[in-house]
Amino acid sequence: MLRGHRDFADRAAYDEFIREQVMRRNRRNAAAFRIERQQLQDLPEYRTTDFVEEEAPVTRCSTFTVRGILYSAPSRLIGHRLKVRVYGDRLDCYLSGVLVHSTARGSRAHDNRHALDYRHFIGSLKRKPQAFKGLAFRDALFPREAYRRTWEQLDARLSQREACKTMVGLLELAGLHGVEAALAGQLDVLLKAGKLPDLKALREQYAPREAACPEVEVQMPPVAVYDELLEEVAA
């Protein structure tokens, strides 16, 4: 059935393919199913277990491995051992019985064994931005193609220090300010023009600083006013 159809654009495309196959087979057996349906019992009151549970420690790099695929986790989970419930489309991670992290399940398509979220690494990369170039899973951190191509230009045209600092700044801007898609579009425009991104200008454009709080001058009333008030209350 899957011959020639091993690759799908996304999970939704795969689900649609399966739905079409199920509907096709159901149509063939519609008459027999109507006979059998009269004998079917009600569904169970509670759902059956539809996951497999595994354990995975979170490394100091904020990653954990499940079934040969490397996932990322928030830095607060470093050093903890998670109980991971593996579903068909996601992983739910528990610590002491509490759900602490959930992520989409990775795929081994095209030998891709990484399912990483760049947001989980921003904090550590800000402290040591030059470590970005040497990361073994660096290419898996780019959320969109525009970021990968931007890194290639930065790495080719700037020093390692400046290239890494700029790239980490771009990822921070994209992740912490919710402008990943908009920033990717701007990077595409700059790449087509042969220009490198100006991190300071992009921060002012996509993450402007909040207006300064106005200065408030408080004038303290003289103590005699309170004395007069007390005398009026007493009278």
Domain boundaries along the sequence of the chain: 1-41, 52-115, 118-206
Q: How far is CA 112 from CA 69, 141, 201, in A?
A: 8, 13, 35
- Which residues lie closer than 8 Å to 58 by C-beta, 6 or more apart? 64, 73, 77, 78, 79, 80, 81, 82
Share of the chain above pLDDT 90, in %: 56
Q: What is the model's pTM? A: 0.71
Residue 36 has what pLDDT? 87
| pLDDT surpasses 70 at 110 | no
Residue 185 has what pLDDT? 95
Pairwise CA distance, residues 55 & 113, whole Å: 18
Phi-psi label, residue 79: left if phi above 0, alpha if psi -120 to 50, beta otherwise: left
Residue 46 has what pLDDT? 81
Structure tokens at 183: 């920033």
Where residue 28 falls among pLDDT bands split at 50, 70, 90? confident
Q: Give the tens place of pLDDT for each residue, 73-104.
A: 999 999 999 999 999 889 999 999 999 999 99
